[in-house]
Amino acid sequence: MASININGLSLPYKQLLLLDLINQNKYSIFGISETHLSIKEGRFLNKEIPTYTSFWSSYTNSRQAGVGIFIHHSISKYIARSHNFNGHIVGVDLNFRNNPIRLLQVYFPTAEKKQLQKEVQEEIIKLCLDTIYKIILMGDLNSVPNPRQDRLPPKKSSIPESQLIKFLISQQFKDTYRLFFPKKSKFTFSRADSYSRIDQIWTNISVTLLDYTDIVSELQLESDHQLITLELTLQISQSLPTKQKSRKCFQWKKCNKEQLEKYANQTSQSLQQLQDQLTNITSQNQLNLL
């Protein structure tokens, strides 16, 4: 999955660049912040990429804020419901059998917009607490977990910059980038000589299911933000029971000498074939196939 602040998606050529990126990389889930699109415009854009289902949320002024999320058809059948809040939150509940997930794409307001920030934060907290689903929250949080490490020039403080991030930490959510890169400084946003990692992916899913995360740059999307990604392994449907192999049972007391000798010869040949195969094995995958 991936997420990016696109800095406006109203221009047709930027729409084409984004759709090409999604198609070429075959993302299962792709979230967008600051779309500057109405819900109607977002749905119209979805017609250009028919292998995905999309959900959108627009702000009162549709040329500000706005979030969207694309879900590939291979998993869209698991969508139980969607969430939409004032152009700053869009999400879906994915009803996977063993790992139900609530996925939220967020554009968190800047500190100057105190009332709006409070409203968005309250809705995020509600969506995180009022559910049995595990949460994946991704997007532009307009704040960093550790200003000393996540900003350049670095700040003196290491205290999280927003109450939202403090809440996520208090609820045992993991900052996925820091799980894989605890000491590395890499940034998702730049302006002039200032750099920061304000785009993040947080989750309370078991870390054993998380495979990798990254910050991807040089995408030619004309945004001052970088793409953030997360790879994870989930069992989304119930596995079919394995068919038991049939076995032969021999009644040794009823076998004659000729039958026993024939069985001994067949067993010796089978063991020799297995030994020949074992000597040619060079990897764990080849061993698993025996």
- Look at residue 237 and tell me whether its pLDDT is greater than 70: no
Q: Decide which of 268 and 79 is more confident.
A: 79
Read off the pLDDT of residues 168-223 as tens digits, 9 standing for 90 and up. 999 999 999 999 999 999 999 999 999 999 999 999 999 999 999 999 987 889 99
- Look at residue 247 and tell me whether its pLDDT is greater than 70: no
pTM of the complete model: 0.81
Burial class (CB in 10 A: 0-12, 13-18, 19+), 132: exposed
Per-residue pLDDT band for 273 (boundaries 50, 70, 90) equals confident
DSSP codes of every residue in 176-189? HHHHH-SS----SE
Residue 286's pLDDT is 53
Type of residue numbered 202: W
Per-residue pLDDT band for 254 (boundaries 50, 70, 90) equals confident
Dihedral angle over CA of 98, 106, 228, 147, nearest 10:
-120
- Give the mean model confidence (pLDDT) for residues 272-289: 64
47-61, 162-176, 257-271: the lowest-pLDDT one: 257-271
- Give the mean model confidence (pLDDT) for residues 116-133: 96
- Look at residue 60 and tell me whether its pLDDT is greater than 90: no
Residue 26's pLDDT is 94
Please report, rounded to a whole number, the percentage of residues in the chain having pLDDT higher than 70: 91
Q: Give the whole-angstrom CA distance, residue 225 versus residue 7.
A: 8
Residue 276's pLDDT is 73
- Give the mean model confidence (pLDDT) for residues 252-256: 74
Token digits for 241?
A: 């029971």
Cβ proximity of 168 and 106 under 8 Å: no
Token digits for 121?
A: 């934060």
Read off the pLDDT of residues 100-111 as tens digits, 9 standing for 90 and up. 999 999 999 999
211-215: long-range contacts at Cβ-Cβ below 8 A with a sequence spacing of 24 or more? 212/180, 213/176, 213/177, 213/179, 213/180, 215/177, 215/186, 215/187, 215/188
Mean pLDDT, the chain, whole residue set: 90
- Give the mean model confidence (pLDDT) for residues 259-263: 80
194-208, 220-234, 253-267: the lowest-pLDDT one: 253-267
Read off the pLDDT of residues 26-51 as tens digits, 9 standing for 90 and up. 999 999 999 999 999 999 999 999 99
- Give the residue among 205, 206, 185, 188 at the shortest CA–CA distance from 196: 188
Runs of H (alpha helix) within the chain? 12-25, 39-46, 73-76, 114-129, 147-150, 163-170, 176-180, 257-279, 284-288
Q: Residue 33: in which H helix or E strand, if any? A: strand 29-33
Residue 240's pLDDT is 47
Residue 283's pLDDT is 54
Q: Decide which of 257 and 58 is more confident.
A: 58
- Give the residue among 33, 174, 46 at the shortest CA–CA distance from 104: 33
Angle at alpha carbon of residue 129, lines to 72 and 226, rounded to 5°: 45
Residue 22's pLDDT is 96
257 DSSP assignment: H
- Give the mean model confidence (pLDDT) for residues 231-248: 66
229 DSSP assignment: E
